Amino acid sequence: MLNVHPSCLPRLRGAHPLNGALLFNEPFIGASVHFMDEEFDTGALLAQCCIERTDDLDLPLLYALSRLLEAKAMEAALDALVANDFIMTGTPQQGKSSHYTRRAEDMQCESTSTSSDELIRRVRAFGISSQGCTVFLADRAIVAFDAHRITNPFLYEQFREAKPGTILLTCDCGYLVRTADGAIVYLKC
């Protein structure tokens, strides 16, 4: 039996590697075709297609890109099988392994004690309509699907006295909030 896994095995074995790629700031994303064995995502590799993960790739785009990479890896695996008359053992996985399966505690953060970088990373790691990240503010909790740092000097001057977790402005379907390290982050809900 073959399996197509959406990561550059042995990195990010487990059920939710795309969340893990963003959450742990993995430098590469990809797809691996491997023989299935008695352990989860550990079988010998038939083909792998890995690319650099850039910061402009959010979770919805990673899901779409992953399907393209999986198709390329499967095509390469099938070509290799045909070329070898279906007699292959694959290549053992090498390198440092890691695992990720989504956990409820990873899908939330406290704006009053979390740095802006960590808050943005967590929101982006779960930024798809079926998931989201719960961000606890000073007076409420919101589910955010995207986040980025605001650098506008006027906004920093306007809200320089605001406490962490404070909603500074609401706009469209989002909030400007102050984080624990004093940054202003736009959370899209």
Q: For 105-126, how does the pLDDT look when each residue is reduced to its tens digit (9 = 90+)?
A: 999 999 999 999 999 999 999 9
Of the candidates 153, 37, 27, the one whose C-alpha atom is nearest the C-alpha of residue 98 is: 27
Of the candidates 38, 58, 41, 56, the one whose C-alpha atom is nearest the C-alpha of residue 7 is: 41
Beta-bridge partner residues of 109: 135
CATH code assigned to 104-188: 3.10.25.10
- What is the average pLDDT score of the chain? 95
Residues ≥6 apart with Cβ < 8 Å to 176 = 150, 155, 159, 167, 168, 169, 170, 184, 185, 186, 187
Query: What's the CATH superfamily of 2-83?
Result: Formyl transferase, N-terminal domain (3.40.50.170)
CATH 3.10.25.10 segments of the chain = 104-188
Q: How far does the chain reach from its first CA to its final CA, in angstroms?
A: 41
Q: For 6-36, how does the pLDDT look when each residue is reduced to its tens digit (9 = 90+)?
A: 999 999 999 999 999 999 999 999 999 999 9
Q: For 132-175, how does the pLDDT look when each residue is reduced to its tens digit (9 = 90+)?
A: 999 999 889 999 999 999 999 999 999 999 999 999 999 888 99
Q: What is the pTM assigned to this prediction?
A: 0.86
Which 8-state DSSP code applies to residue 20?
H
CATH 3.40.50.170 segments of the chain = 2-83
